[in-house]
């Protein structure tokens, strides 16, 4: 390991960045170093500009683009003390796309189609508690608080803990899972007793989507979106939903308001209002004409 990489990792750890963030930023800088065949701390503003244009030409998603930007900004500000480079490292604009929301029946079909009972239980847990996939994979036996009807989510996004309601039906599924698998620590471990890789679950969900006959995209995070939207449609208030999802900002939770469907069918199209107005006007004209003829 080069001295620069070690300083970079140490600084990330000092500022309490998550292990996944450290891994991602380090991988990004390694790729940049290979591309230029140069240590990243020696990059010039012109080379940064060249890199940004290359990423744009490659059509990189906004999230991956911003990973590169964040890694470079951290390097030049916190490690190299070269803040003059930062203005040359832009962020990508996040597209304002609404997520896909499945109906309750579609969610049931998707969950029933997951082929392995172990991962079916995990997917039911993701939907029942609104968990991120990484949160579900890191659940431990000790996180199940059955006497109080709670499931504890430890070290969620931003390193925050939270509790979510644990319904009786999910508790039954988890007990059946324990009787089958007998996990000793993590609820859904791999062969080595550690949290399974997320790719395994995502691939199984894609197979389940096909088996369930769903044409719209469906991922593990889709289950979290469905959880939030279905709770809003059932009458859950926004502040409660914010706490259940672990959002720091209410504005993040507010986007689910736009996904509720219970009021949309009752909204009358302006085109129908035009037709109604035209029909009323025609009726009035005919009535007046009739009076005139009479």
- Return the ∠ at Cα 104 (arms to 102 and 110), rounded to 5°: 70
Is residue 157 annotated as part of the catalytic site, yes or no? yes
**One of 138, 224, 225, 230 is an active-site residue; which one?**
224
Give the burial class of 122: count Cβ atoms within 10 A of its Cβ; 0-12 exposed, 13-18 middle, 19 or more buried.
Answer: buried
Is residue 94 annotated as part of the catalytic site, yes or no? no
Is residue 127 annotated as part of the catalytic site, yes or no? no
Contact call for residues 195 and 138 (beta carbons, < 8 A): yes
Question: Closest Cα partner for 223 from 249, 207, 237, 205?
Answer: 205
**One of 157, 162, 173, 255 is an active-site residue; which one?**
157
**One of 25, 127, 227, 256 is an active-site residue; which one?**
256
Report the C-alpha gap between 28 and 16 in whole angstroms.
19
**One of 17, 88, 118, 221 is an active-site residue; which one?**
221
Is residue 221 annotated as part of the catalytic site, yes or no? yes
Report the C-alpha gap between 219 and 222 in whole angstroms.
5
Residue 65 is encoded by which pair of tokens? 């683009």
**One of 124, 132, 138, 225 is an active-site residue; which one?**
132
Is residue 239 annotated as part of the catalytic site, yes or no? no
Question: Closest Cα partner for 110 from 197, 206, 200?
Answer: 206
Is residue 108 annotated as part of the catalytic site, yes or no? no
Residues classed as catalytic = 132, 157, 221, 224, 247, 256
């Amino acid at each position: 390991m080069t001295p620069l990489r070690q300083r970079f990792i140490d600084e990330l750890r000092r500022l309490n960045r998550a292990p996944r963030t450290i891994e991602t930023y380090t991988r990004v800088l390694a790729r940049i170093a290979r591309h230029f065949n140069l240590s990243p701390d020696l990059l010039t503003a012109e080379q940064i500009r060249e890199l940004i244009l290359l990423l744009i030409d490659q059509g990189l998603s906004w999230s991956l683009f911003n990973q590169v930007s964040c890694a470079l900004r951290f390097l030049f500000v916190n490690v190299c003390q070269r803040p003059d480079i930062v203005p040359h490292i832009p962020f990508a604009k996040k597209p304002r796309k609404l997520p896909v929301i499945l109906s309750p029946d579609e969610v049931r079909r998707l969950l029933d189609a997951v082929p392995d009972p172990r991962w079916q239980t995990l997917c039911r847990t993701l939907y029942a508690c609104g968990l991120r996939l990484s949160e579900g994979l890191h659940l431990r036996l000790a996180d199940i608080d059955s006497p109080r009807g709670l499931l504890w989510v430890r070290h969620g996004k931003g390193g925050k803990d939270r509790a979510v309601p644990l319904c009786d039906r999910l508790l039954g599924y988890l007990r059946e899972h324990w009787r089958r698998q007998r996990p000793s620590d993590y609820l859904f471990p791999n062969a080595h007793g550690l949290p399974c890789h997320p790719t395994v679950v995502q691939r199984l969900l894609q197979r389940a989507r096909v088996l369930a006959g769903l044409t719209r995209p469906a991922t593990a995070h889709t289950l979290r979106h469905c959880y939030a939207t279905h709770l809003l449609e059932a009458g859950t208030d926004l502040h409660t939903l914010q706490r259940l999802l672990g959002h720091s900002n209410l504005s993040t939770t507010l986007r689910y308001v736009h996904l509720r469907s219970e009021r949309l069918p009752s909204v009358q199209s302006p085109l129908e209002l035009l037709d109604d107005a035209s029909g009323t006007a025609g009726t009035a004209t005919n009535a007046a004409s009739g009076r005139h003829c009479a």
